[in-house]
């Protein structure tokens, strides 16, 4: 297995009074093709971790190698290129543009392209977006406005958008946080299927049922990894690293 993500002793401190250490000393490795769930109590630093992983934010300490290349020294423009070319994002709030149809929302993923690579032709973008909607089982919802869709359908549109850029890694922050049980199952089925096709997945969740579907579970608390890190286990089936009592930092 080749390492996609290598975090070494990463910390993220926010300037405040007193300073907030949202993450500290996080060492983590995620391989290609993994399906990782990140759990932890509210305020433990999960979203902060996702921001760092997706190059939406910079760590204040430590190093982050993505696909073998150091990212912490990259200029903002190159980080933007990596975001456009290598990451797909799915958020709890969907972040769909209300004034655009479903396939137009998906097509947005091809608007900003990395300079170095040949950009996919503008012609055919709609067809590619429709194909991405098919992949998440929403071919029949093309042309709909997001406000006419159910929550689960909206999140699948967001997943289709994340897929259009053909990312190396799909980062999901509470993808089922706004969904009921039935919609959650549909979204999780889609994610599992994508992972089956070889896509590397990292899902942040509060929900143990969601975390159980992942191949590896990382638990963080108070800005530290308390279980599941730093290395992938040899057998990437759901393992129970449940808090072995080694870090009794939460009740």
Partner 1 sequence: MAMIEKGVPPSRFGRAVARRSGTGTRISRSDLVDESLSAVLARPMRAALTALGTVLGIATLVVTIGIAATAGNRIVGRFDELTATAVSITPETTRASPDDPPLIGWDAPERITRLNGAVAAVALAESQPGQTPPVQANDIKDPSAVTARTLGVVAATVDLPATVHGRVVAGRFYDAGNVARRDRVAVLGEEAARLLGVTRLEDGPAVFIGGEPFTVVGVIGDLKREQALAASVIVPPTAAADRLGMRQVTRVVVDTRLGAAQLIARQAPTALAPGHTDGLRVLAPPNLERARGAVEDDVNGMFLVLGLLCLVVGAVGIANVTLVGVMQRIGEIGLRRALGASRRHIAAQFLVESAVLGLLGGVVGATAGMVTVVGVCVAKDWTPVLDLGLVFAAPLAGVAVGLLAGAYPAWRAARLEPLEALRAT
Ligand X SMILES: Nc1ncnc2c1ncn2[C@@H]1O[C@H](COP(=O)(O)OP(=O)(O)OP(=O)(O)O)[C@@H](O)[C@H]1O
20 lies in the binding site for ligand X (CB under 6 A): yes
CB of 50: closest distance to Mg ion in angstroms?
Answer: 8
Closer to partner 1 by Cβ: residue 61 or 185: 61
Stretch that binds ligand X, among 35-43, 64-72, 137-145, 190-198 (CB under 6 A): 35-43
Could you tell which of ligand X, partner 1, Mg ion, none binds residue 100, using a CB distance below 5 to 8 A set by kind? partner 1
In order of 17, 19, 149, 171, the CA distances from 107 in angstroms are 42, 40, 18, 19
Q: What's the CA gap between 178 and 155, in Å, rounded?
A: 9
Residue from 5, 30, 40, 47 that binds Mg ion (CB under 5 A)? 47
Residue matched to tokens 């308390």: 226
Residue from 7, 39, 47, 87 that binds ligand X (CB under 6 A)? 47
235 lies in the binding site for ligand X (CB under 6 A): no
Could you tell which of partner 1, ligand X, Mg ion, none binds residue 42, using a CB distance below 5 to 8 A set by kind? ligand X
Per rule CB under 5 A, count of chain residues that contact Mg ion: 1
Q: Taking CB positions, which residue lies at the least distance from Mg ion?
A: 47
Q: Which of 35, 25, 32 is nearest to 1 (CA)?
A: 32
Could you tell which of ligand X, Mg ion, partner 1, none binds residue 131, using a CB distance below 5 to 8 A set by kind? none
In order of 40, 58, 63, 201, the CA distances from 14 in angstroms are 19, 11, 17, 27
CB of 126: closest distance to partner 1 in angstroms?
Answer: 12
Residue 91's DSSP bridge partners are 173
Residue from 4, 28, 35, 45 that binds ligand X (CB under 6 A)? 45
User: Are the C-beta atoms of 201 and 32 separated by less than 8 Å?
Assistant: no
User: Are the C-beta atoms of 175 and 198 separated by less than 8 Å?
Assistant: no
Residue 173's DSSP bridge partners are 91, 204
92 lies in the binding site for Mg ion (CB under 5 A): no
Q: Which residues bind partner 1 (CB under 8 A)?
A: 9, 47, 51, 54, 56-63, 72-73, 75-78, 80-81, 83-85, 87, 89, 91, 93, 95, 97, 99-100, 104, 108-109, 111-116, 119, 122, 165
16 lies in the binding site for ligand X (CB under 6 A): yes
Q: What's the CA gap between 14 and 60, in Å, rounded?
A: 9
The residues, ordered by sequence, that sit 6+ positions from 8 with a Cβ below 8 Å of its Cβ are 27, 62, 63, 64, 65
The residues, ordered by sequence, that sit 6+ positions from 188 with a Cβ below 8 Å of its Cβ are 176, 210, 213
176 lies in the binding site for Mg ion (CB under 5 A): no
Q: What's the CA gap between 168 and 193, in Å, rounded?
A: 15
Supply 37's token pair.
């769930």
Interacting residue ranges for ligand X, rule: CB under 6 A: 14, 16, 20, 22, 40, 42-48
Interacting residue ranges for Mg ion, rule: CB under 5 A: 47
């Amino acid at each position: 297995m080749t390492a996609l993500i290598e975090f070494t002793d990463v910390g993220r401190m926010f300037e405040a009074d007193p300073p907030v250490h949202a993450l500290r000393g996080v060492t983590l490795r995620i391989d290609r093709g993994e399906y990782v769930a990140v759990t932890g109590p509210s305020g433990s630093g999960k979203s902060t971790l996702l921001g760092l992983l997706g190059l939406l934010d910079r760590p204040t300490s430590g190093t982050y190698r993505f696909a073998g290349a150091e990212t912490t020294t990259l200029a903002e423009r190159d980080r933007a290129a990596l975001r456009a070319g290598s990451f797909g994002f799915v958020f709890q709030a969907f972040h769909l543009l209300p004034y655009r149809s479903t396939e137009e929302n998906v097509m947005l993923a091809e608007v900003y392209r990395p300079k170095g690579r040949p950009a996919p032709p503008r012609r055919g973008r709609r067809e590619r977006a429709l194909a991405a909607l098919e992949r998440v089982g929403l071919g029949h919802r093309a042309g709909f406005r997001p406000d006419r869709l159910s929550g689960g359908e909206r999140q699948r549109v967001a997943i289709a958008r994340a897929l259009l850029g053909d990312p190396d890694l799909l980062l999901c922050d509470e993808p089922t946080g706004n969904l009921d049980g039935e919609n959650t199952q549909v979204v999780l089925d889609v994610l599992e299927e994508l992972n089956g096709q070889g896509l590397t997945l990292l899902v942040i969740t509060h929900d143990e049922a969601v975390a159980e579907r992942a191949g590896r579970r990382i638990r963080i608390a108070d800005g530290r990894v308390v279980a599941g890190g730093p290395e992938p286990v040899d057998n990437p089936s759901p393992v129970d690293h449940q808090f072995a009592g080694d870090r009794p930092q939460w009740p």
